[in-house]
Amino acid sequence: MNNSIDFYIDQLINHTDLFDTNINDFEANKVFDFSEETILITGAAGTIGKELFKQLIPCTFKKVILIDIAESALYNLSIEFTEHINHKIELRVCNINDKASTKHIFSTYSPTMVFHCAAYKHVPLMEINPYEAVKTNIIATKLLADLSAESNVKKFVFVSSDKAVVPKSIMGMTKHIAEQYLDSLESNTEFIITRFGNILGSNGSVLPVFLKQIELNLPLTITDKDMTRYFIGRQKACQLILESTGFNNLKNKTLSFRNNSPISIYKLAKSVISISKKDDIIIKITGVRSGEKLHEIMVDSNESTEPISHPDIFQIKNKKKPAKQIADFKYLKNITPNTSTLDAEIILRKYL
């Protein structure tokens, strides 16, 4: 059995009727002119950060700074791209929750463009670790955004999630609040929020979990037979993130990418079993977990989408009055490592 994620993604896209063939339709040879830019990527060793870097390699740029708190993952990235690492590329271990370390990155390299990919994204884990979710997904995002504004960064691109829309989970609430904060900022820095669904095959997502379960001859576990999710290929998503920097003076800061139809997780599990040719593997329904929705949405009832010049990118317009400036996050100081999920949710909802 070939159990590589890329093999399964290829099989699922090209040999099942689950996905439209354009889920990862991107221009493999497209290059961008960032010759005047010093680019900072947070969460550079993660699925999105790594793919952004990969697509930047053939482009022109002044410098690329890759930062991540995960030392081993960052080291593995340096090994994987050894032949491309040169004086224009810096890899730094950095905890974006640490103000001194993050300020040092900005003062040392003076980035002109920031791709903020670092985040805690796993819904069940963040339900029981709300303090960590708040620190990384809100407070660190605020720190990066404020430093970017102070440093006259040209463009700050924030990687958000469909879970930020009408959020139910701690993770979704933290991403929603981060979106709101960035949307409220007024500065010379152009803040861009990119909102899309699950990256097919990303670290810790459903497909790698299924493959590990198959490898161990375990049942494939899904939480509900009716659950659906939006998916997009990592290469397409990252190319669209890079392309989002090409728009100037947008009326709205939030962008959404064209989505295929939502995919049944149950059908995905059945397709993975079929590809694996392990007919004895069963599917086990475990029940919806805390914070999970049966179905995600990309746009809530107070928002609408407006086309722009790119066929796969849309502006999201808020029909309500513009988001008010969030002066501070004083209530968030009440969220500590001892705070329960319920109490954290009550505090977070003050900002929704």
Those residues whose C-beta lies under 8 Å from the C-beta of residue 114, and which sit 6 or more positions away, are 39, 40, 41, 42, 144, 148, 153, 155, 156, 157
Those residues whose C-beta lies under 8 Å from the C-beta of residue 274, and which sit 6 or more positions away, are 16
Q: What would the 3-class secondary structure string for the chain be?
A: CCCCHHHHHHHHHHHCCCCCHHHHCCCCCCCCEEEEEEEEEECCCCHHHHHHHHHHCCCEEEEEEEEECCHHHHHHHHHHCHHHCCCCEEEEECCCCCHHHHHHHHHHHCCCEEEECCCCCCHHHHHCCHHHHHHHHHHHHHHHHHHHHHCCCCEEEEECCHHHCCCCCHHHHHHHHHHHHHHHCCCCCEEEEEECCEECCCCCCHHHHHHHHHHCCCCEEECCCCCEECEECHHHHHHHHHHHHHCCCCCCCEEEECCCCCEEHHHHHHHHHHHHCCCCCCEEECCCCCCCCCCCCCCCCCEEEEECCCCCEEEEEECCCCCCCCCCCHHHHHCCCCCCHHHHHHHHHHHC
Cβ(165)–Cβ(299) under 8 Å?
yes
Q: What would the 3-class secondary structure string for 134-146 be?
A: HHHHHHHHHHHHH
* Tokens of residue 169, six digits: 């989970």
> Catalytic residue numbers?
163
Instruction: Count CB neighbours of 68 within 10 A.
Output: 26
